[in-house]
Each structure stands twice: as structure tokens, then as C-alpha cells.
């Protein structure tokens, strides 16, 4: 689990460095050892669905590739700030 997180972080750094193929190979390595790794699958899917792969390095945010669950939660809470006051 912890190794997967480190490899995922390395993959993200390669993506930010515009080394997309290296990043993909890191995520595929994670799936070799843990074929159910949700984060690696999601990140590969994001690359696959990207319309402009040449701009991925500019647009990729750590919250999307490293902590997508926390990203969603923070977006939800900021959009529903009144809900937080009643909890």
C-alpha cells in the first residue's frame, strides 16, 4: 500500500515533467502487483480521457492525481458551506 503511494507520487511527478509515458509505466507497474488499485486505474483513465495530452503537465493538480477523494470532499464542502454550519 505505502509503496503504491510512493510510486503514484513518482508517476505524478513524471506527468508534471511532461514524461507521460514514464508516468503511465509507473501506474501500470502498480497494477502488476495490485490489479485492483483504484487510484492507479483512475489516473490512467484520466490520461486516457484527456483531450489535450500535451497540456496534461500544466493542468494536472496533485489533488486530482494524488488525493482525489480529499479533492472531492473539499470541493463538496466549499460548495455546501452552509451544511458545515449545521453539522
In the chain, pLDDT over 70 holds for what percent of residues? 75
Q: Could you tell me the pLDDT band of residue 2, with boundaries at 50, 70 and 90?
A: low
Instruction: Single out the residue of 10, 24, 18, 6 nearest to residue 59, CA to CA.
Output: 18
Tens-digit pLDDT profile for residues 61-72: 877 888 766 555
| Nearest alpha carbon to residue 3 among 24, 34, 25 | 34
The DSSP letter of residue 35 is T
Question: Could you tell me the pTM of the whole model?
Answer: 0.73
Amino acid at each position: 500500500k505505502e509503496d503504491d503511494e510512493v510510486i503514484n507520487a513518482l508517476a505524478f511527478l513524471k506527468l508534471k515533467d511532461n514524461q507521460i509515458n514514464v508516468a503511465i509505466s509507473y501506474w501500470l507497474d502498480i497494477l502488476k502487483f495490485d490489479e485492483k488499485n483504484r487510484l492507479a486505474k483512475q489516473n490512467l483513465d484520466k490520461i486516457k480521457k484527456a483531450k489535450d495530452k500535451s497540456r496534461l503537465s500544466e493542468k494536472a493538480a496533485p489533488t486530482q492525481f494524488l488525493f482525489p477523494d480529499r479533492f472531492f470532499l473539499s470541493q463538496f464542502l466549499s460548495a455546501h458551506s452552509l451544511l458545515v454550519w449545521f453539522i
